[in-house]
Amino acid sequence: MPAHTPFAATVADSGSQLDVAEELLTLLRDATTEPRPDIQLEALTLAVAADLPVLLWGEPGIGKTAALTQLAEALDLPLTTVIASVHEPADFSGLPVVGDDPAEQGVPMAPPDWAVRLVRAGRGLLFLDELSTAPPAVQAALLRLVLERRIGALRLPPGVRIVAAANPRSSAADGWELSPPLANRFVHLQWTHDHEVVVRGLGGTWPRATLPRLSPQKLSEAVDFARRAVCGLLTARPKLVHQLPGNEMRRGGAWPSPRSWEMTLRLIAFATAAGSSRDVLSLLVRGTVGDGPGLELLASLDRLDLPDPEVLLADPANAELPERGDLRQAVLDGVVAAVRNRPEKSRWDAAWALLVRALETGAPDLVVVPATTLAALRREDWDVPASIEKLAGAVSVSRRADQAAARAAVTAKAGR
């Protein structure tokens, strides 16, 4: 037998074992998807549909890259991954190419090959990974790419969406804070893991990413609602139009500016047309203008949905009041304010009837303050309606509870 035969047999056996190993790897990679409520994924797909750049923040290994890969597959978009930190600024601003006569033709800026492929495809998902490891010079070069979709002499087609991912500076390799101009161009989403999603995904079934279904009948209404919401808040709170945070770390996140308010308006319109939940809208709004302004906007959205006090006064017996206590309180206060602005006996009586309905359908303590204020609006020639008797017990009990709480506070203070 030739001397090299055992080695040849070993090589052949190794080849067959690698084939078996590849088969096993294929089985491990095999997974399915299922429709499953996931507000993070829904917020991401809504922002992608709205053609806004998204930045996913999360600790290493949390599944940001996997989510983007699955999103690209679900939307049938070719995925192009670019790690910004390993590129030079010229890779995003364009590489100068000297032609035959620079004095006449100038020096064109040639785009990188991945940008050319995206333009030729006409569509795709551009994934800028590890953005927080990009040095300031590279971040500056990314500004035009993220906002104008331009790389050198090329402009990315409308079918290309941009999503980035970053680790917090504390857990990023040689991490940098994002510059304020770059940070203000993104919708910032905090990406966290869900225990059930991870367990079920490791078992072979992951949530399915789908673009939101926009209702054609709601488009005009959605735009009007979004404009009223944003313009109403900024009219009442003009200082929120532009607030550059003083803290360097907060400057690298979401904060309000005319640009980010325009993005917020677009997201509200898309969320309204898609019928998205308030939880999804909360993630998007707070991820665009920051937590403080975002929560103020969400509160104003609640008030936009409140019924008109005049409609309630016109038919108090059939009035539908909000279930949430804070919204119900706001409605009752609005009704009392409407009576104060135009005090008439019929309107005063209707307001009492409405308070009785609120008492019968909700928490009694919510009618105490409106009832007290409404009683103070009585004119001398107005007869007290019989419905007040139904409210007397609730008001009396609430007052006694307040007095008891005040006495307990005084006793506790004296005992210290």
Structure confidence by residue, pLDDT tens digits, 361-374 = 888 788 888 888 88
Find out whether 328 and 322 touch, Cβ atoms under 8 Å.
Answer: yes
Nearest to 124 by CA among 93, 90, 82: 82
Question: Measured at the alpha carbon of residue 359, what is the angle toward residues 326 and 402, in degrees to the nearest 5?
Answer: 70
Q: What is the pLDDT of residue 54?
A: 96
Inter-residue contact 339 to 352 (CB < 8 Å): no
pTM above 0.85? no
Reported confidence tier of residue 8, pLDDT bands at 50, 70, 90: low
Of 304, 330, 354, which closes a domain? 304
Considering the domain architecture, whether residues 339 and 399 belong to the same structural domain is answered as: yes
Does pLDDT of 151 surpass 90? Answer: no
191 and 226 both lie in a single domain:
no
> Does residue 19 belong to any structural domain of this protein?
no
Confidence of residue 11 (pLDDT cuts 50, 70, 90): low
pLDDT at position 53: 96
The residue among 89 and 259 whose pLDDT is bigger is 259
Note whether 40 and 172 are same-domain residues.
Answer: yes
| pLDDT at residue number 413 | 58
Is the domain of 177 the same as that of 43?
A: yes
Is residue 101 assigned to a domain? no
* Domain co-membership, 48 together with 181: yes
Which of residues 273, 304, 335 is at a domain's end? Answer: 304
At 322 the pLDDT is 85
Cβ neighbors of 34 (< 8 A, separation 6 or more) are 205, 206, 207, 208
* 402: confidence class by pLDDT, cuts 50, 70, 90: very low
Task: List the strands of the sheet with 187-190, edge to edge.
Answer: 79-83, 123-129, 159-166, 54-57, 187-190
Mean pLDDT lowest among 52-61, 333-342, 354-363, 387-396: 387-396
Out of 70-74, 171-175, 350-354, least confident range: 171-175
Cβ within 8 Å of residue 126, ≥6 positions away: 80, 82, 118, 156, 160, 161, 162, 163
Q: What share of the chain has pLDDT > 90, as a percent?
A: 33
The length of the chain in residues reads 416
Q: How confident is the model at residue 42 (pLDDT cuts 50, 70, 90)?
A: very high
Among 397, 322, 400, 396, which Cα is nearest to 357's? 322
Mean pLDDT throughout 332-341? 89
Look at residue 173 and tell me whether its pLDDT is greater than 60: no
> What is the predicted pLDDT for the residue at 204?
84
- In whole angstroms, give the CA distance from residue 125 to residue 139: 19
Q: Do 334 and 389 belong together in one domain?
A: yes
Better-predicted residue by pLDDT, 259 or 324: 259
Residue 14 is predicted with a pLDDT of 64
pLDDT, position 80: 92
Structural domain containing residue 410: 309-415
Give the pLDDT score at 102: 62
Lowest mean pLDDT among 117-126, 242-251, 398-407: 398-407
Q: Are residues 234 and 299 in the same domain?
A: yes
17, part of any domain: no
- pLDDT, one tens digit per residue, over 131-142 is 888 888 889 989
What is the helix (H) or strand (E) element at residue 129, kind and residue range?
Answer: strand 123-129
Tell me whether residue 4 is in a domain.
Answer: no
Do both 39 and 147 map to the same domain?
A: yes
Residue 10 domain flag: no
In a domain, 245, yes or no: yes
Position 13 in a domain = no
Residues 238 and 316 in one domain: no
Average pLDDT over residues 305-328: 84
In this predicted structure, the answer to whether residue 105 has a pLDDT above a threshold of 90 is: no
* Structural domain total, the chain: 3
- Residue 171 scores a pLDDT above 80: no
**315 and 298 belong to one structural domain:** no
Residue 404 lies in a domain: yes
Average pLDDT score, the chain: 84
- What pLDDT score was predicted for residue 196? 85
> In this predicted model, what pLDDT tens digit does every residue of 250-292 receive, in sequence order?
889 999 999 999 999 999 999 999 999 999 999 999 999 999 9
**In this predicted structure, what is the pLDDT of residue 101?**
61
Boundary (domain end) residue, out of 287, 304, 321: 304
84 with 120, same domain? yes
85 or 187, which is more confident: 187
Residue 213 vs residue 66, higher pLDDT: 213
